[in-house]
């Protein structure tokens, strides 16, 4: 199936590695062009080089907590590639720990980056999109079911899922789609950190995989393929939904 991605242009935040980078790989492989942003300048530059350099990708060293970042990304896409067709908005995970044990400063910092940074990016990108544009929000299965030890995520992700639904209603009449993506256990650096924190990573992985119907942790490319489809014209009647990419781990229908 042709996803219709040839020469389309997407902005991806937090995309020097992990799920954002995996999505960028899939988009570029199908003919799209990408603007990647991340806080680590060297890491995002290296990611762009792996994707084929300036003809296919361009790097922006930026942080979503900076109010100027979303417009910088929009402007870069237009200046470098001449158009913008959508975005994948992803930010790093918040600190580990229960909701009750998190400090005010941890909550405040996480809200500024994860919640407000995402909302601001969606609002800015959507204003620049025309009919056929699409925005994907990388959330977490914690948007539907709390994940033990990730209290801040459990607090913020469900709110972002609600925001995604709300803005999908608002932007739908303009032909702009908004979809939430809910990755479960996928072998990113973030999940490696969580496994390491368990004390016995091997045992922790075995226990996690036992709770996944497919009996294995996911690969970033498996998320990337879903995200690329969601952003593509092939998914043109898909909006206002959240899609788990979790091997069946969520028990809700």
Q: Is residue 252 domain-resident?
A: no
Query: Can you tell me the mean pLDDT for 77-106?
Result: 94
Query: Can you tell me the mean pLDDT for 237-246?
Result: 98
- Would you say residue 24 has pLDDT above 80? yes
H-type helices in the chain, by residue range?
18-29, 41-50, 69-81, 104-110, 117-128, 151-171, 189-196, 201-210, 220-231
- Would you say residue 148 has pLDDT above 80? yes
Output the CA angle 128-130-131, nearest 5 degrees.
Answer: 155
Q: Determine the Cα–Cα distance for residues 55 and 51; give it in Å rounded to an integer.
A: 9
- Would you say residue 199 has pLDDT above 90? no
**Residue whose structure tokens are 């470098």:** 80
Q: Determine the Cα–Cα distance for residues 239 and 241; give it in Å rounded to an integer.
A: 6
Q: Determine the Cα–Cα distance for residues 251 and 44; give it in Å rounded to an integer.
A: 36
Q: Is residue 174 domain-resident?
A: yes
Q: Is residue 19 domain-resident?
A: yes
Q: Is residue 116 domain-resident?
A: yes
What is the per-residue pLDDT for 91? Answer: 85
Q: Determine the Cα–Cα distance for residues 53 and 41; give it in Å rounded to an integer.
A: 15
Q: How many domains does the chain fold into? A: 1
Q: Is residue 109 domain-resident?
A: yes
Q: Is residue 64 domain-resident?
A: yes
Output the domain CATH number for residue 16. 3.40.50.720
Q: Supply the range of the domain harboring residue 138.
A: 9-245
Sheet holding 9-12, edge to edge: 57-61, 33-38, 9-12, 86-89, 134-138, 177-183, 242-245
**Residue whose structure tokens are 């003809």:** 55
CA dihedral (253, 167, 108, 184) in degrees, to 10, reads: 30
- Would you say residue 86 has pLDDT above 80? yes
Q: Is residue 2 domain-resident?
A: no
Q: Is residue 18 domain-resident?
A: yes
What is the per-residue pLDDT for 252? Answer: 84
Chain segment 33-42, per-residue pLDDT in tens:
999 999 999 9
How would residue 200 be classed by pLDDT, with cut points 50, 70 and 90?
confident
What is the per-residue pLDDT for 196? Answer: 79
Query: What is the per-residue burial (b if ≥16 Cβ within 10 Å, else e) of 115-149?
Result: bebbbbbbebbbebbeeebbbbbbbbbbbbbbeee
**How much is the pTM?**
0.95
Alpha-carbon separation of residue 137 from 65, 121, 122, 214 (angstroms): 16, 10, 8, 24
Instruction: Give the least confident one: 44-48, 74-78, 90-94, 138-142.
Output: 90-94
What is the per-residue pLDDT for 163? Answer: 97
- Helix/strand/coil percent split, the chain, to 5: 45, 15, 35
């Amino acid at each position: 199936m042709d996803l219709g991605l040839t020469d389309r242009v997407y902005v991806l935040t937090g995309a020097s590695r992990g799920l954002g980078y995996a999505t960028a790989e899939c988009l570029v492989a199908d003919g799209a062009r990408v603007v990647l942003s991340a806080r680590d300048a060297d890491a995002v530059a290296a990611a762009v080089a792996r994707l084929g350099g300036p003809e296919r990708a361009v790097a922006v060293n930026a942080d979503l907590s900076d109010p100027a970042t979303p417009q910088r990304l929009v402007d870069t896409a237009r200046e470098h590639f001449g158009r913008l067709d959508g975005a994948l908005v992803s930010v790093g995970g918040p600190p580990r720990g229960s909701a009750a044990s998190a400090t005010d400063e941890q909550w405040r910092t996480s809200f500024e980056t994860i919640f407000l940074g995402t909302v601001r990016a969606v609002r800015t990108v959507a204003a620049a999109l025309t009919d056929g544009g699409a925005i994907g929000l990388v959330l977490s299965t914690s948007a539907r079911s709390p994940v033990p030890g990730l209290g801040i995520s459990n607090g913020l992700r469900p709110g972002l899922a609600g925001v995604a639904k709300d803005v999908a209603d608002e932007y739908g009449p303009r032909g702009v789609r908004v979809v939430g993506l809910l990755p479960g256990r996928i072998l990113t650096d973030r999940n490696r950190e969580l496994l390491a924190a368990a004390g016995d990573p091997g045992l922790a992985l075995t226990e996690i995989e036992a709770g996944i119907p497919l009996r294995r942790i996911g690969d970033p490319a498996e998320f990337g393929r879903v995200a690329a489809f969601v952003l593509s014209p092939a998914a043109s009647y898909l909006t206002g939904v959240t899609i788990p990419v979790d091997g069946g781990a969520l028990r809700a229908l």
